[in-house]
């Protein structure tokens, strides 16, 4: 009886150890971040459901990049307010996916709207300044993606945290780019402003959660509130 009862237990223990090593949360994050890419491939392969499938893909990649960037910025406040330390493990992954979708967004713009004719793009920039704003945000995201690895973190020291706080600036620039591209007027709240405004309020809310008074409040509740100079990068 002892040998037969120990066998199922050891089998279950082995599977439990294997599952613990899989880090299911990481796989779920990768899977969720790749779902929009599957939608993009489906739209390009059979775009009958769209009047202009390429324009739909261009808009969707930009929107997904912004959502993933906001989720990346939300990881530190989630740890600060709720004590969700597991969120910090996914911050870099979400940020890298945000950069990837932003880069695809730019490539689609240059390829489909201008046929890689940079002369036409330069001629159009004066009438579409939101492209400059989007390009500036992409440059910031590229710098953050390139320096997101441990070797760069060690090499840059304290400057690494200062650099990666520019993610908030990148998010705000993307939102301005979004407003302008959709021809919305923020001053009068006219035009197509609801969606970019909601994203903007989300970023402002995340910035408010970084205020010292919020950190002190979280510390008083016994949450893991890091000090300003030693806290997470975002």
| Distance, C-alpha 12 to centroid of its chain | 37
- Give 198-224 as a DSSP string: HHHHHHHHHHHTTSHHHHHHHHHTT--
d(CA 112, CA 72): 29
What is residue 58's predicted lDDT score, i.e. its pLDDT?
Answer: 87
Instruction: Output the CA–CA distances (angstroms, integers) from residue 84 to 64, 81, 223, in the order listed.
Output: 23, 8, 9
pLDDT string in tens for the chain (234-residue length): 454 445 455 766 666 666 555 677 888 999 999 999 988 888 777 655 666 777 888 889 999 999 999 999 999 999 888 888 889 999 999 999 999 999 999 998 888 777 777 777 777 777 788 888 999 999 999 999 999 999 999 999 999 999 999 999 999 999 999 888 876 555 555 567 788 889 999 999 999 988 888 878 877 776 455 555 444 455
Q: Whole-prediction pTM value?
A: 0.79
What is residue 228's predicted lDDT score, i.e. its pLDDT?
Answer: 55
What is residue 192's predicted lDDT score, i.e. its pLDDT?
Answer: 72
What is the per-residue burial (b if ≥16 Cβ within 10 Å, else e) of 153-175?
eeeeeeebbebbebbbebbbbbb
Task: Please give the helix or strand (H or E) that residue 27 lies within, else none.
Answer: helix 24-45
What is residue 204's predicted lDDT score, i.e. its pLDDT?
Answer: 94
């Amino acid at each position: 009886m002892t040998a037969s009862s120990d066998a199922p237990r050891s089998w279950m223990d082995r599977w439990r150890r294997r599952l613990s090593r899989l880090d299911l949360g990481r796989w779920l994050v990768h899977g969720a971040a790749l779902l929009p890419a599957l939608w993009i491939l489906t739209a390009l392969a059979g775009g009958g459901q769209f009047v202009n499938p390429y324009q739909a893909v261009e808009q969707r990649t930009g929107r997904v990049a912004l959502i993933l960037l906001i989720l990346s910025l939300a990881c530190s406040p989630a740890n600060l307010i709720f004590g969700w330390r597991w969120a910090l493990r996914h911050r870099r992954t979400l940020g890298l996916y945000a950069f990837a979708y932003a880069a695809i967004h730019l490539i689609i713009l240059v390829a489909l709207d201008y046929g890689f004719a940079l002369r036409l793009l330069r001629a159009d920039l004066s009438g579409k300044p939101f492209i400059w704003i989007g390009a500036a945000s992409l440059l910031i995201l590229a710098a953050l993606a390139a320096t997101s690895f441990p070797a760069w973190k060690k090499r840059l020291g304290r400057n690494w945290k200062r650099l990666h706080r520019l993610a908030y600036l990148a998010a705000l620039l993307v939102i301005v780019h979004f407003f302008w591209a959709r021809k919305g007027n923020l001053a009068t709240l006219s035009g197509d402003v609801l969606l970019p405004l909601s994203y903007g309020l989300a970023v402002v809310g995340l910035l408010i959660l970084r205020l010292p008074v919020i950190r002190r409040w979280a510390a008083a509740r016994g949450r893991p509130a890091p000090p300003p100079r030693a806290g997470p990068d975002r």
